[in-house]
Amino acid sequence: MKKENEIKTNNGYAVLGILLVLILMMIVGVAILTNYLFLVLLVAVVFIAKGFFIVNPNSSKVLVLFGAYKGTIKKNGFFWANPFYTKQRISLRARNFYSERVKVNDKIGNPILINVILVWKVEDTYKAAFDVDQYEEFVRVQTDAAVRKLAGSYPYDNFAEGEHEITLLSGMREVNEALENEITERLAIAGIKVMEARIGYLAYAPEIASSMLKRQQAVAIVAARKKIVEGAVGMVEDALTKLSSDGIIDFDDDKKASMVSNLMVVLCGDKEATPVINAGTLHA
C-alpha cells in the first residue's frame, strides 16, 4: 500500500520570470521584427501558464500524472509544476463534525437519543484521496456507525442500587475514550487523525422518557426516605437514652414502644405534626 510522499516543486516566481521573457520576445518578434514565426512561442506561453498554482497555509495539493500518484505538496506558496498534472486540493485544517441525533438501543434495549462531537483533520493525503471515495462523507458515515456500536455496548444508567457497571450517563470519561478509539480505528484507512471525540447529547427517547423520569424520581424518593428513617432512628435512640440517663422518666417496654411510635411518626411524616396534649398517662 502506498503512502503519502511529500515533494518539492519549482518556485512559481522564477518560472513566471521566464514566462514574461517569452512573452516579451514574442511581442518584439511579431510587432517589431514582423516575424510571425515568433507566434510559436504562444504555445509555450500557454503551456507554461497552465502550470502555476497556489498552496494556502494548512492546505495541500495532491499531484497525479496520467493516473500515477507523484506526490503531495504541503508547503504553502506560489509554485509551478508540469501542466499535465492534475492537482487535488485537500485541506489540512482541523474540522468540527457535530453529528445528527440518532435513535439507538442501549445495551439493555432502551431506546435513547445520542450524538457525537468530533474534531478531526487529514494526516495522510494519499489515503484521503485514493483509499476512500469522498473522505468527508466517509468520516460522517463511520462516525455514525461508531456511535451506534458504542451505544449498544453500555446501558444508559444503572437500575439497581449498588451496581458499579460503566454506563453512558455516569462513565463519561471511559465512554468517550472508547468512542475515540473506535472512531480512530475506523478512520485510519482514510488517513484521518482524530483529535477529540465525545458525546454531545444523551437522553432517553421521547416514548420512554416520561417512564424513566418517574423511575428516577422513585429512586430519589426511596433514597431520601431511607436517609430520613436512618436519621429518625438515631434521634429516637438518643432521646430515649437521654431521658433514661437523666432520670427524667423510666420506660417499660410498652411506654418505650409508644414513645418510639410517636417520635417516628413525627420525624418521618411528610407534614408537620399537630401536637395533642395528653393530660393523663402514656396509656391513657
Query: CA 14 to CA 128: how far, in whole Å?
Result: 31
Helix pair 206-245, 253-268: axis angle to 10 deg: 140
Hey, which bits of 34-172 come out as E strands?
A: 52-55, 59-65, 68-73, 77-80, 85-91, 95-98, 102-105, 111-122
Provide CATH code, domain 95-204. Answer: 3.30.479.30
Query: CA 174 to CA 172: how far, in whole Å?
Result: 6
Question: Residue length, the chain?
Answer: 284
Q: Where in the chain is the domain with CATH 3.30.479.30?
A: 95-204
Low-confidence ranges of the chain (pLDDT < 70): 1, 33-36, 38, 159-164, 207-225, 232, 240, 242-244, 246-256, 258-284
At 187 the pLDDT is 93
Helices (H) and strands (E) in the chain, counts: 7, 10
At 284 the pLDDT is 47
- Looking up cell 393523663 gives 280
Query: CA 170 to CA 147: how far, in whole Å?
Result: 17
pTM of the model: 0.68
CA nearest to 234, candidates 254, 257, 264, 262:
264
Query: CA 280 to CA 273: how far, in whole Å?
Result: 20
**Bridge partners of residue 119, in order along the sequence:** 96, 196
pLDDT in tens, 113-168: 888 999 999 999 999 999 998 999 999 999 999 998 988 888 887 765 555 578 88
At 105 the pLDDT is 85
Query: CA 274 to CA 262: how far, in whole Å?
Result: 12
At 68 the pLDDT is 92
Query: CA 156 to CA 50: how far, in whole Å?
Result: 58
Beta-carbon contacts of 61 under 8 Å, excluding residues fewer than 6 positions away, are 53, 55, 72, 73, 87, 88, 89, 90
**Greatest Cα pair distance in the chain:** 138
